[in-house]
Amino acid sequence: MAKHDLDPNYLDPNYEPVVNHSSNLPFQEVLMARMQRRSVMKGSVGAALASVMGLGLAACGSDSNGGSSTEGSSQAPGEATRLGFQAVPVSSANQVVVPEGYTATPFLPWGTPITGSYPEYRADGSNTGAEQEQQMGMHHDGLHFFPIDQKAGGNSSTEGLLVMNHEYINQDALHPGGATYVNAGANRPDDEVRKEIAAHGVSVVHIKQDAEGTWDIVFGSPFNRRITGNTEMDIRGPVRGYSKLVTPFSADGTRTRGTLNNCAMGPTPWGTYLAAEENWHGYFANSGTLTREQSRHGVGSSSRYDWELAQGGADQYVRFNVTETGATATDDYRNEANTYGYMVEIDPFNPESRPQKRTALGRFGHEGVIFAPAVEGEPVVCYSGDDSRFEYIYKFVSSQPYNAATAGGYLLDEGTLYVARFNEDGSGEWLPLDLDDADYAAKVAGAVGTMVGDIMFDGFENQADVLLNTRLAADIAGATPMDRPEWGAVDPNSGDVYFTLTNNSARTVDNVNAANPIVENRTGHIIRWTEAGGDATATSFDWDIFVFAGEQGTETVSDDQVIVTLTDDSMFSSPDGLWFDYNGRLWIQ
């Protein structure tokens, strides 16, 4: 097998290195202290859990009129909006299982030609790198359907633009003989590397349903597009033009190439697509001294796929070697990794537009982004989880107000990035990562000259430096380390925010005590909070646990009462994706 036949992240739950060595109070300790106190969000917890877990596939406590169910209602929670099919049983089968009466058909698999000359897919792996740049990428992840008439206010369900992430690759399938090396193993063939980079990224595909209900590509559509790990992109927001983003490719630090390891996504209120850059650290290699921007993310001395070793030393490949070798940043690619770790905005309706990396949303291992409902004249608010063990949950509040007629990506370039702290009494705070905030500036000043985790902290040059080092900035703020925060979802009726905490296998027996009871939290849970006053821009909130995942018999307790007990039919593990549909049903992946 090749050196990296499969992305180890999908084989080994411990692949992602623990790089948060701060002394911030872990969420499990906060959680146990919290569960010993009475609930501050009582009432709706039981109803919501009963509807989701106790009644099968049902709404999250919403009635048929879109309002919230109440204790005085004669209708059982979720009864009016139960789905009209029998849920499939729990299974470990390695296959797609759908309810009786439904079928599942493969659509747009890796290698499907979607643009350019539409090169035919060859199952033996012999397609070239140039051909892969015109075909669907590998290992699909986050995706979103944009109705073709959305810009005109329509909501077509039979034609639209499907935008899809391609997170990682399988080298054995990608090449006839897997990944190979030349020159006694010193180099990779450059076209293999080109193909691997092209198999990453994002696809935009114009699709349409025919009268028989079959979906197909609209061939020749100008909307069909591939965005790869080598596509030119703009850096936007506060980090744009910062000296630590200067490279030989962009001497002014305003451009970069490519997006990689795109996990989940987030559709914006103005009809664009945000692709998340998650485990991007593994694509870079530094054989010298790591910078804090690299070490706090896990960049190592070797890379996942050895792209920097491509034969011929083309600039588009050597950029993955982030070792400092020259006199200045324009002589080597020491800063290339600093151009990754962002949310990338793509306009599917404008195929000539250049993707934009939105740095104001922070630089970390983005799982995705979820927007609170946009309100005319109010700031835009969105949430994002850093999908790694002991990392954080963030919120961005725009400086400028939302106006539906003029809204666009510029709203994501100016604003305040906050990080969450969950307190033991069920309250929570959004801590600003902003040097203009007096309290935060004092924390930064107090940390100078001390060890923050395993980093000797010497200060931040400016706000761009804060955002470039978002994880470190959150350490200093005093955020709560979480168990791999992934997807979020905002209840369209109540405004409550739900977040999946997938798992954390790094918990050990040495940590077991009354305040930290879960050893090797392999099954995860879902947390929920209500912003103060129902205002998404608030800087405080109340929180509670929505449900614990686990095997049969796992209980979720609220106010000393068992609210739900998982059964053979309702048990689940490692919650990841989370989504509210138009009827208010919460879907858990």
Q: Is residue 401 part of a domain?
A: yes
pLDDT tens-digit map of 297-317 = 999 999 999 999 999 999 999
DSSP per residue, 272-313: -EEEEE-SGGGG-B-SSPPPHHHHTTT-BSS-SS-GGGBTT-
Question: Residue 90 has what pLDDT?
Answer: 86
Per-chain mean pLDDT for the chain: 88
The pLDDT of residue 509 = 54
Q: What is the Rg, in whole angstroms, of the alpha carbon atoms belonging to the chain? A: 24
Would you state the pLDDT for residue 383?
Answer: 99
How far is it, in rounded angstroms, from Cα 580 to Cα 62? 11
- Cβ atoms 136, 227 nearer than 8 A: no
pLDDT tens-digit series, residues 290-301 = 999 999 999 999
- Between CA 589 and CA 586 the distance in angstroms is 10
Does 510 map to a domain?
A: no
Instruction: Please choose, from the candidates 392, 576, 586, 555, the residue with its C-alpha nearest in 3D space to the C-alpha of residue 480.
Output: 392
Structural domain includes residue 518: no
Answer yes or no: is 186 within a domain: yes
Encode pLDDT of 72-108 as tens digits. 333 343 444 677 888 888 888 899 999 999 999 999 9
- Asked if pLDDT for residue 121 goes beyond 50, the answer is yes
pLDDT in tens, 163-187: 999 999 999 999 999 999 999 989 9
Rounded mean pLDDT, 569-584: 91
**Tens digit of each residue's pLDDT (9 = 90 or more) over 199-222:** 999 999 999 999 999 999 999 999
For residue 76, tell me if it sits in a domain.
Answer: no
Is residue 100 in a domain?
Answer: no
Whole-number pLDDT of residue 507: 63
Number of domains in the chain: 1
Given this model, what pLDDT does residue 2 score? 40
Amino acid found at 459 = G
Tokens representing residue 518 in the block: 């879960």
pLDDT at 8 over 90: no
pLDDT digits (tens, 9 = 90+) for 468-493: 999 999 999 999 989 899 999 999 99
Task: Classify residue 319: in a domain, yes or no.
Answer: yes
Domain containing residue 273: 8-37+105-490
- Predicted confidence (pLDDT) per residue in 37-69, tens digit: 434 344 344 444 544 554 333 323 333 333 333
Q: pLDDT for 399-427, tens place per residue?
A: 999 999 999 999 999 999 999 999 888 89
Q: What is the pLDDT of residue 471?
A: 99
**What confidence score (pLDDT) does residue 56 get?**
37
Q: Is 520 left (phi over 0), alpha (psi -120 to 50) or beta?
A: left
Which residues are CB-contacts of 452 (< 8 A; sequence separation ≥ 6)?
Answer: 22, 472, 475, 476
3 state DSSP class of 370 = strand
Task: Identify whether 572 is part of a domain.
Answer: no
CA atoms within a 13 Å half-sphere pointing along the CA-CB vector of 546? 26
Mean pLDDT of 232-247: 99
Give the rounded distance of the alpha carbon of 346 from its chain centre.
15
How far the first Cα of the chain sits from its last, in Å, is: 31
